[in-house]
Amino acid sequence: MRPGNVADRDIESMVDAYACPLSRQVLRAWKRHAFGHPWHGDRLLDPRHTIDTTAILEPGRLIRLMLSFDIGYHGSGWFANSEWDQNLHLSLSHPKVDAPLVSTGYQLETVSDEEARAWGRVVFSEHAPKAWFESAASVFDPHRLPNVVHLRLFYDRDAQPFIPTGEPYTLKPWADGSSPEKVFRR
């Protein structure tokens, strides 16, 4: 089964309920692209993973959305817990187009938790309550881009959304024994 098969009626109800500025067709195509071009963490994302539009709760305010289907967190040996292997990953920020930066494009402002959750309901539909919310990093975090909020909906090996149990670094190999050796050497 392929992940991301959301019924048209689910997208319609979310778009209508939250006054989403994106059309149903754009949302469906964006999700199809994310699932059809999984991100392994080894290259820059295709520009088609990114949409610049306006906020749901602050109409007219620019928001940048990035959607990717991240795979291989466990398969590469990065996370010991196999349940954390793949997720539909939504990143959100407010670019300040009046404050360009040479190195990264634009300065970013953090979206509100409410704005992030509204987009989570639109993108993840009925599975939104299962999504993991990661607040924005501060400017002092050396490993993450500041002012970007992340929502992740995890998928099992049968392409079904679910809530993983345990922590990412807690040993939980795949039941069929196919986990990488690196997972066991931690």
Residue 3 lies in a domain: no
Q: In total, how many domains does the chain have?
A: 1
Domain span including residue 141: 8-184
Residue 154 lies in a domain: yes
Quick one: which H or E segment has residue 183?
A: helix 181-184
Task: Write the CA distances from 19 to 39, 63, 64, 114, integer angstroms.
Answer: 29, 14, 17, 14
Q: Which residues contact 146 (CB under 8 A, 6 or more apart)?
A: 108, 136, 137, 138, 139
Q: How confident is the model at residue 110 (pLDDT cuts 50, 70, 90)?
A: very high
40-66 pLDDT, tens digit per residue, is 877 767 889 999 999 999 999 999 999
Q: How confident is the model at residue 104 (pLDDT cuts 50, 70, 90)?
A: low
11-38 pLDDT, tens digit per residue, is 455 455 568 999 999 999 999 999 999 9
Q: From 4, 129, 24, select the one nearest 71 (Cα to Cα).
A: 4
Q: How confident is the model at residue 73 (pLDDT cuts 50, 70, 90)?
A: confident
74-103 pLDDT, tens digit per residue, is 888 778 889 999 999 999 999 987 755 545
b/e 93-127 (16+ beta carbons within 10 angstroms → b): bbbeeeeeeeeeebbbbbbeeebbbbbbbbbbbeb
Residue 2 lies in a domain: no
Residue 107 lies in a domain: yes
Residue labelled with tokens 């963490």:
41
State pTM to two decimals. Answer: 0.83
Candidate from 19-28, 32-41, 132-141, 150-159 with smallest mean pLDDT: 132-141
Residue 161 lies in a domain: yes
Residue 1 lies in a domain: no
Tell me what percent of the residues of the chain surpass a pLDDT of 90.
52
